[in-house]
Structure 1
Amino acid sequence: MAKRRKGGRTKAKETNWQERVIQIRRVSKVVKGGKKLSFRAIVVVGNENGQVGVGVGKAGDVIGAVRKGVADGKKQLIDVALTKSNSITHLVNGTSGGAKVIVRPAAPGTGVIAGGAVRTVLELAGVKNILAKQLGSNNPLNNARAVVNALEALRTLAEVAQERGVPLEHLYT
């Protein structure tokens, strides 16, 4: 099962984080003097080793919005349990708003078969062999959050055995 990470990372470990911008959108707010323009950036942060987060930032300029999105993404990090073949343990569904995502493990050599924001999140999580399908909305933010929701729902065999209160060997028989 994916667990949220807490702070406390050192500067040396922060160098391996990768950031990818999914979307930059110009948004406006109506104020007394007219319209105030700002930018919204959706950013995915991951280390390609089982940790990924999705963040949103708004600012008056694009660089500031991306910086805020990266900071937000690092606060939202989850741990993803990967198999030896860099896939996931079992089929899982995730939802967020109107978006639904189906994520399915694949054989080694398959690659990442997914589109849009789903592909970006899975690649930065370190998944190499997976099949994914977006259903419903094609809003990039909701799809990215739906994938994170699905990855959070993953459970390993050891976790299932512990929940059931049986030894791990009994699950194989």
Structure 2
Amino acid sequence: MREIQYEEFEEKIIEIRRTSKVTKGGKNLSFRVVAIVGNKNGKVGLGIGKAREVPEAIRKAIADAKKNVIEVPIINGTIPHEVIGRQDASKVLLRPAAPGTGIIAGGTVRAVVELAGIQNILTKALGSTNPLNLAMATINGLKELLDPRKVAKLRDITVEEVYKGVRREGNA
């Protein structure tokens, strides 16, 4: 098993939900916490923790988030291209934005995008606005992003040609 090096991650709690299970002896209360961790430099992770007490659930959620960190390609403070992230009934449209635009997003999507280190982005939540599904849809959208440098290398063209869509003679 490989050892994971943790950088200094910032943590944000998105949701704390009280759940109860009815048993013969009464109701058993527990808590579900959804947490986001990120280094504001292209790495972000989502975690869920469940426990009888809130602090324990928070600890579990943050530990889970650190295990599920993904790499996000960021070019000039924004994402390289438009993408739609999906999770169950939630959809999140993520669009690159010009410098100075800022983060145009609701609470859940904003938390994920901020901790990923994106400074300029346009987002829109479509469908269900359940905080857990929105966070997962945002993470799924960020996972789908392709780094232009990797695309250029795969296609054996320059990064400028990836952006401009230039075709070479003989490849048409």
TM over 0.5: yes
Q: How does 1:151-166 map to 2 (within 5 A)?
A: 151-164=142-155, 166=156
Q: Which amino acid aligns with 1:71?
A: A
Q: Structure 2: where are the runs of 5+ without partners? A: 167-172
Q: Which amino acid aligns with 1:130?
A: I
SS in 2 for 1:161: helix
Q: How does 1:30-109 map to 2 (within 5 A)?
A: 30-83=22-75, 85-109=76-100
C-alpha separation between the residues in 1 aligned to 2:129 and 2:35?
A: 16
1:81-133 residue CA offsets vs partner (Å, 9 max, x unmatched): 101x2100011110001000000010111100000210000000000000000
Q: Runs (4+) of structure 1 moved beyond 6 Å?
A: none
User: Once the 2 structures are TM-superposed, how far is the Cα of residue 162 of structure 1 from its aligned partner?
Assistant: 3.4
- Are 1:114 and 2:105 an aligned pair? yes
How many residues matched? 162
C-alpha separation between the residues in 1 aligned to 2:98 and 2:33?
A: 34
Q: Which of residues 148, 154, 157 in structure 2 aligns to 1:167? A: 157
Query: Do the aligned partners of residues 61 and 134 (structure 1) sit closer, same or farther apart at CA in structure 2, a change above 3 Å counting?
Result: same
Q: Structure 1: where are the runs of 5+ without partners? A: 1-5
User: Once the 2 structures are TM-superposed, how far is the Cα of residue 8 of structure 1 from its aligned partner?
Assistant: 1.9
| 1:149 paired residue number | 140
C-alpha separation between the residues in 2 aligned to 1:62 and 1:7?
A: 28
TM-score in terms of structure 1 length: 0.88
C-alpha separation between the residues in 1 aligned to 2:95 and 2:116?
A: 15
User: Once the 2 structures are TM-superposed, how far is the Cα of residue 30 of structure 1 from its aligned partner?
Assistant: 2.2
C-alpha separation between the residues in 2 aligned to 1:34 and 1:56?
A: 26
| 1:29 paired residue number | 21
Q: Which has the higher contact order (CA 8 A, sep 6+)?
A: 1
